[in-house]
C-alpha cells in the first residue's frame, strides 16, 4: 500500500480502488462470519426480488446491510424498523457504490427467540383480521357420532384420543387422517386433512393436534396457511397441540382449544352413561307432557259436564219457559204503549182536522150561496136580479131569488 501511495505514476481508477478495498476486506478471515447486534432502520422488503435492504444502527454508528431472498425467505418472521436484532453474515464492499456492507444470511430478534417473535407477529396479524373473534367460533355438536382426527398415526396423541373416546363414547366412529405433525412438510398435510373432511362431510367434528414437544416441534401448528384453513372450515375444529402450557396459532383460530389431545377427546364426545341418563329423562318428560294433555282434556270434560243443560235438563226447560213468559209479557206491554201513543196522536189530529172543516163554519152563522148549476157564488157580478139561488146553511138549504145587487165600493 505504501508503494502505491508514493508511486505517482501508478494512478488508480475508482473501480480499481474499490475493488482493491473489497479484496482487502474479503481477505480478513474474521469478517467472513460475524454476528452484529443493532437496531433495524430503513427496512425495505423488495417485493419483486424478495431481498431485504436495511440499516443496522446503534447509538454511535450505522451499517448498511442486505439479505438476499434465499436467506430472507427462510426467516420465520418479517423484520421491522426499530427491532433489535442479532444478524449473522459477512462483510464485503459493493464496488459500484464504494460502500462496504453486511451481507446477512440469518437474523434473530435480540433477547427473544425468532420463533417466538414470528409467533407474536402472526398472532397480532390474524387477530387484527378478526380470525380469533369469539363470534366466528362454531359450537361443537352435542352428540357427535363421527370424529375426524388429523394427527400422526404413530404418536401418543392418537393413542390417548382413541382410548378416551372408546371409554367415554364408543358409539362414535373415529376417522383418522394421518399427517406429519412436525417439520416443513407438516403444514400442507394438516391443511389437506382439514380440506378433506370439509369436502367429504363424513365427520361431525374435527380434532387437529399432536403431543407435546419443543417450540420447534410444534411449529407446524403456527403456520399461517393452516390457521387460515382452520378459520375457513365449516366443520367445527378442536385444536389440541402439545401440553397445557403450549399455545399455538391453531389454538386461537380453532373453534375450541383443548389443552391436550386427551382433553380434546373428552371435550368432543359425551359420556355414554351421562347421555343414557339424559335420554332416559326424555321418558319422564314425555310422561309429563302427555299427562298434562290428558289433564287438559279431563278439565274440559269437567267443565262441560258441570253445565246445567247436562246436569238438569228439566230445570233448563223451566228456565226457558220462564223466559218465554217474561218475553211475551214484555211484548204485550210494548204493544199497549205503542197503541196508546197512536190513539193520542189520532185524537190530536182529529181536533186539528175539525178546525179546518169548511162545513163547521156554518154552525157559527155563516152560509154559502150556489147558482142553479151548483157554482159557488162569491161575487155580485156573478148574479142578476131575479136569479134563483140556493143558500146552504148549517142544517139544510133554502131557495131564494136575488132582489137587489149592491156592490161594495172598491177599496
Partner 1 sequence: MTENQTTQSFETALARLEEIVRALEVGQAPLDTSLSLFEEGISLVKLCNRRLDEAEQKIKLLQAAPDGSMTETDFGGPKA
Binding region for partner 1 (CB under 8 A): 143, 145, 153-156, 158-159, 162, 165-166, 169-178, 196, 200, 272, 275-276, 279-280, 282-283, 285-287, 289-290, 292-294, 296-297
CB of 71 to partner 1, least distance (A): 35
CB of 142 to partner 1, least distance (A): 10
Cα separation, 239 vs 261, whole angstroms: 8
Give the residue with the Cβ less far from partner 1, 21 or 175: 175
CB of 213 to partner 1, least distance (A): 16
Give the residue with the Cβ less far from partner 1, 158 or 240: 158
CB of 140 to partner 1, least distance (A): 16
Cα–Cα distance list, 69 to 62, 74, 89, 109, 197 (Å): 23, 8, 14, 19, 36
Give the residue with the Cβ less far from partner 1, 40 or 186: 186
Give the residue with the Cβ less far from partner 1, 54 or 177: 177
Tell me the backbone φ, ψ of residue 313, rounded to 5 degrees: -60, -35
CB of 264 to partner 1, least distance (A): 16
C-alpha cell at 299: 278439565
Give the residue with the Cβ less far from partner 1, 4 or 200: 200
CB of 61 to partner 1, least distance (A): 57
Give the residue with the Cβ less far from partner 1, 103 or 196: 196
Give the residue with the Cβ less far from partner 1, 104 or 269: 269
**Termini Cα distance of the chain:** 169
Give the residue with the Cβ less far from partner 1, 50 or 170: 170
CB of 122 to partner 1, least distance (A): 29
Q: Three-state SS string across the chain, please?
A: CHHHHHCCCCCCCHHHHHHHHHHHHHHCHHHCCEEEEEEEEEEEECCCCCCEEEEEECCCCEEEEEECHHHHCCCCCCCCCCCEEEEEEEEEEECCCCEEEEEEEEEEECCCCHHHHHHHHHHHHHHHCCCCCHHHCCCCCCCCCEEEEEECCCCHHHHHHHHHHHHHCCCCEEEEEECCCCCCCHHHHHHHHHHHHHHHCCCCEEEEEECCCCCCHHHHHHCHHHHHHHHHCCCCEEEEECCCCCCCHHHHHCCEECCCHHHHHHHHCCCHHHHHHHHHHHHHHHHHHHHHHHHHHHHHHHHHHCCHHHHCHHHHHHHHHHHHHHHHHHHHHHHHHHHHHHHHHHHHHHHHHHHHCHHHHHHHCCCEEECCCCCEECCHHHCCCCCEEEEECCCCEEEEECCCCCCCCCC
Exposure of 403 by Cβ count < 10 A (0-12 exposed, 13-18 middle, 19+ buried)?
Answer: exposed
CB of 284 to partner 1, least distance (A): 10
Of 119, 138, 376, which is closest to residue 237 (Cα–Cα)? 138
Give the residue with the Cβ less far from partner 1, 131 or 157: 157
CB of 165 to partner 1, least distance (A): 7
Give the residue with the Cβ less far from partner 1, 108 or 266: 266
CB of 144 to partner 1, least distance (A): 10
Amino acid at each position: 500500500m505504501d508503494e502505491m501511495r508514493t508511486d505517482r505514476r501508478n494512478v488508480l481508477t475508482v473501480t480499481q480502488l474499490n475493488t482493491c478495498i473489497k479484496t482487502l476486506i474479503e481477505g480478513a478471515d474474521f469478517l467472513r462470519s460475524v454476528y452484529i447486534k443493532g437496531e433495524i432502520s430503513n427496512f425495505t422488503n423488495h417485493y419483486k426480488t424478495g431481498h431485504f435492504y436495511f440499516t443496522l444502527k446503534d447509538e454511535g454508528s450505522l451499517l448498511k446491510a442486505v439479505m438476499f431472498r434465499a436467506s430472507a425467505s427462510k426467516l420465520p418472521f418479517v423484520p421491522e424498523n426499530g427491532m433489535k436484532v442479532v444478524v449473522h453474515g459477512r462483510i464485503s464492499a459493493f464496488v459500484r457504490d464504494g460502500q462496504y456492507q453486511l451481507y446477512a444470511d440469518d437474523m434473530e430478534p435480540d433477547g427473544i427467540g425468532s420463533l417466538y417473535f414470528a409467533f407474536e407477529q402472526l398472532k397480532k396479524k390474524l387477530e387484527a383480521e378478526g380470525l380469533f373473534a369469539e363470534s366466528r367460533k362454531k359450537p361443537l355438536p352435542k352428540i357427535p357420532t363421527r370424529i375426524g382426527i388429523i394427527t400422526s398415526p404413530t404418536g401418543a396423541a392418537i393413542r390417548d384420543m382413541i382410548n378416551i373416546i372408546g371409554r367415554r363414547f364408543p358409539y362414535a366412529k373415529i376417522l383418522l387422517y394421518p399427517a406429519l405433525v412436525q417439520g416443513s412438510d407438516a403444514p400442507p398435510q394438516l391443511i389437506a386433512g382439514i380440506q378433506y373432511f370439509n369436502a367429504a362431510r363424513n365427520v361431525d367434528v374435527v380434532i387437529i393436534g399432536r403431543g407435546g414437544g419443543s417450540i420447534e416441534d410444534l411449529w407446524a401448528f403456527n403456520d399461517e396457511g393452516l390457521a387460515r384453513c382452520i378459520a375457513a372450515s365449516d366443520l367445527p375444529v378442536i385444536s389440541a397441540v402439545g401440553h397445557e402450557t403450549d399455545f399455538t396459532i391453531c389454538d386461537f383460530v380453532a373453534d375450541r382449544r383443548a389443552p391436550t389431545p386427551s382433553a380434546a377427546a373428552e371435550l368432543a364426545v359425551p359420556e355414554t352413561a351421562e347421555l343414557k341418563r339424559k335420554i332416559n329423562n326424555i321418558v319422564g318428560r314425555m310422561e309429563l307432557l302427555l299427562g298434562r294433555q290428558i289433564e287438559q282434556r279431563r278439565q274440559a270434560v269437567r267443565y262441560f259436564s258441570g253445565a246445567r243443560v247436562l246436569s238438569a235438563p228439566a230445570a233448563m226447560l223451566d228456565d226457558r219457559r220462564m223466559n218465554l213468559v217474561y218475553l211475551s209479557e214484555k211484548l204485550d206491554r210494548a204493544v199497549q204503549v205503542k197503541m196508546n201513543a197512536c190513539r193520542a196522536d189520532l185524537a190530536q189530529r182529529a181536533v186539528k182536522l175539525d178546525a179546518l172543516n169548511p162545513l163547521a163554519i156554518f154552525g157559527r152563522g155563516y152560509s154559502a150561496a150556489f147558482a142553479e148549476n151548483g157554482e159557488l157564488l162569491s161575487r155580485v157580478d156573478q148574479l142578476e136580479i131575479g136569479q134563483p139561488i140556493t143558500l146552504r146553511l148549517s142544517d139544510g138549504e133554502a131557495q131564494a131569488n136575488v132582489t137587489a145587487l149592491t156592490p161594495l165600493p172598491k177599496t
